[in-house]
């Protein structure tokens, strides 16, 4: 039943509306934990180890693992589920891989609705693992109650460590693969960056997901932050509405005739108009052509 409900809302079938109406009074109980970070940091392995800790503590888990889609075929490898196959026989764990379908911010458009289904189904914790697109991957901040940014040791120098972007959305910073060289140095760099922020410094933890080292401490830190925060399903709905509006706008822009866009581009290239004027004309074109 859970699989069918998720399929309905993910694919926006005719049954999706009935599902969403049925679950609306059952939301706001699950703790939503977002795992994000650059590719190669070991997020999937860390999530799998985190699930082990949660299950040992008697908590049920839903996982939304978002994989990147091909810009050419639209297909996705959905490899995160492969890394978590050892949980497949556990009724207390439900893993759903979603394709990003070209969405650049790290989350599938319907991920928020899938989280709602997990929440209504009574899962204690819903883990969201994003596609790992690097610094731009900040959308998880909109839908997760606790945000975990995972880093690998030695992936960057001092400048890289103090960059903005996803590091600034973190509730917990993790240096995974802590059994490798430079882990201590990376942790110190992240701690220094966190201390430079004007608000309360973010905890920096070291884990080795392959052995389970430090994962229980991470689970404790997540739980402590979760107790201070109240789950907010409204934030997930807000994110969905924004994504739907952006998708609709994108379809309308792509539906405009190439000749119309080329004429506007020629004016911009020749200097006949500036960028603000070109943008204003583009918005006028969209108003005059409400349907692609």
pLDDT in tens, 153-185: 875 544 454 455 566 788 999 999 999 888 998
- Which residues, in sequence order, are bridge partners of residue 213? 208
pLDDT at 104 over 50: no
- pLDDT-based confidence at residue 144 (cuts at 50, 70, 90): confident
Q: Exposed, middle or buried, 21 (CB in 10 Å: 0-12/13-18/19+)?
A: exposed
pLDDT score for 290:
67
pLDDT score for 206:
95
Which segments within the chain are labelled E, that is strand? 31-37, 61-67, 93-99, 125-129, 146-151, 172-175, 204-206
Percent over 90 (pLDDT), the chain: 37
The residue among 10 and 289 whose pLDDT is bigger is 10
Q: Is the Cα dihedral 282, 287, 289, 292 positive or negative?
A: positive
pLDDT at 273 over 70: yes
pLDDT score for 63:
93
pLDDT at 228 over 90: no
- pLDDT tens across 34-56, in order? 998 877 888 889 999 999 999 99
pLDDT score for 163:
54
Q: CATH says 26-231 is which class?
A: alpha beta
Q: To which residue do tokens 């430090």 refer?
A: 214
pLDDT at 269 over 70: yes
How much is the average pLDDT of 107-112? 72
pLDDT score for 53:
97
- pLDDT tens across 56-82, in order? 999 999 999 886 543 333 443 444 455
Q: How many CA atoms lie within 13 A of 7 on its CB side?
A: 4
């Amino acid at each position: 039943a859970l699989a069918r409900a998720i399929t309905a809302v993910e694919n926006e079938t005719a049954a999706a509306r009935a599902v969403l109406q049925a679950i609306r009074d059952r939301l706001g109980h699950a703790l939503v934990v977002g795992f994000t970070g650059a590719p190669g940091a070991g997020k999937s392995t860390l999530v799998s180890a985190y699930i082990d800790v949660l299950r040992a503590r008697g908590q049920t888990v839903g996982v939304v693992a978002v994989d990147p889609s091909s810009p050419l075929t639209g297909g996705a490898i959905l490899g995160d589920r492969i890394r978590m196959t050892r949980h497949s026989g556990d009724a207390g764990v439900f893993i759903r891989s979603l394709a990003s379908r070209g969405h650049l911010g790290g989350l599938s458009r319907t991920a928020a609705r899938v989280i709602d289904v997990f929440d209504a189904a009574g899962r204690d914790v819903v883990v969201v693992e994003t596609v790992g697109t690097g610094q731009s991957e900040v959308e998880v901040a909109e839908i997760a109650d606790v945000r975990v940014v995972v880093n690998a040791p030695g992936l960057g120098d001092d400048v890289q460590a103090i960059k903005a972007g996803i590091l600034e959305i973190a509730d917990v910073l993790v240096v995974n693969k802590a059994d490798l060289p430079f882990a201590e140095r990376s942790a110190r760099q992240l701690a220094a960056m966190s201390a430079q922020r004007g608000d309360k410094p973010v905890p920096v933890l070291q884990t080795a997901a392959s052995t389970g080292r430090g994962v229980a401490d991470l689970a404790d830190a997540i739980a402590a932050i979760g107790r201070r925060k109240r789950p907010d399903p409204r934030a997930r709905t807000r994110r969905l509405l924004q994504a739907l509006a952006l998708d609709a706008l994108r379809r309308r822009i792509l539906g405009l005739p190439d000749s119309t866009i080329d004429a506007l581009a020629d004016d911009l290239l020749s200097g006949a108009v500036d960028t603000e004027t070109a943008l204003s004309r583009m918005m006028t074109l969209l108003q005059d052509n409400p349907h692609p």
